[in-house]
Structure 1
């Protein structure tokens, strides 16, 4: 796809009376010279990988290779059965997200959506939305097309990499993609989807990337859960008719500027933030040994 901005994407969809998902599917098929059915089937396969990752992430006794993470997806799933504070729907989504992120830490097969470090947010929201609202599988697949279009524009104008822009570029972008997908799955307009994208990113501006021991586990797994919460919050506000005062493309530009301003220690190097706390340093020593560079 060659859209230069979310505004361009939104206005094209509006002018042609299409959803962002429908426009994306059409444009992707034309670009790679395939039928829309073929492109749809490819995305359907990705949805199935996401579903498999959720199930695999909830296998009793499963732990990451480092041993740092594992089992929280199961705990969250069990807790969801009690309704909790926010109800089953929300906790179901959290369980999905945590399970996928934990499965990634076991070197399981996931969909990097848009990155491995943020891989739980999109399946966490889209699959919970499909299952809780009893939507057809097609709705989830089309939601992924919506998310993909948003992610492509963010990648073009900012960054999706924690090493370049901090976790705002990973979990922030994933939450924006998920928020837009939720809006369209709920019947919202392209304008609402764009506003949801803006509000999701705004709520994660400046989020640093500080993986403990340099691994995509702590705090990454729980940040995936946080990204789910922000995606739902942004989608709900957009569906209520609330709009971002700062246009979405300017928000994306701001994310890039903030990312450029972050010191190296807060961009996936494991040298700052939570990675530099006494516990974070000790975990690195426990995993890699006392002599590991950067632990002294």
Structure 2
């Protein structure tokens, strides 16, 4: 039935320059909510044979009960990122388009049980396909798949082989995803080790700089103390020189001469005063004797006899 349905659609197509073009009578400029509603039959939305180059995702989200979406036989070269928000889909037909890749988040359509990618331009599948654990049917024939993926997909010639394709492809992508995760962890491990090494180098550099600054500070301190000690030593030597040799400068000599002159002058004055005092005493004695003898001649004679004069 699937093959018959595809052949029926092919009847309505004709090729120009290698592309499938739909008759103008069926071309839709834009699918509105009302137009999509007209395309719904049961739980299926049929947007096939519509020359679509993009997908009206926002409008399709308004019909969450339509779990089968048929986008076959259009002109789609890529799926928009928000396409993966159609998580209610169980069956999806993207056959006979121009898809060269699927979005990285394609695995978010984790309720998919049937996926038709027949006759596109795919070479590989995103790793997120590993999350399509409910996928039971997959058709990948008519694509330029890389060798390992093509071997896992098989010929997909009938329903049984398409079921086998789904099982083997999901298993392959799971292995690839695991390998990718291991490689990612290894890379993270290497990056952490490198970061730790750089951090250790930075720590050692800071410690070396700290030690250099401490050494420089200690060197300056020792130099300062040595200079202070040298100054103190020079001061002690000067003191010892002054105590031992007692050098006399001109000022000291002048002061000493002045003191000597003052001393000599003072001695001479003292001698003169002494002589004057003696002379004054003698004069007083003579005057007193004269006065005494004048007033008392008898007493004067007696005094003279005592004195032996």
Q: TM-score under structure 2 normalisation?
A: 0.22
Relative contact order (alpha carbons < 8 A, sep ≥ 6): 1 or 2 greater? 1
Question: What is the TM-score when the length of structure 1 is the normalising length?
Answer: 0.23
Over alpha carbons, which structure has the higher Rg?
2
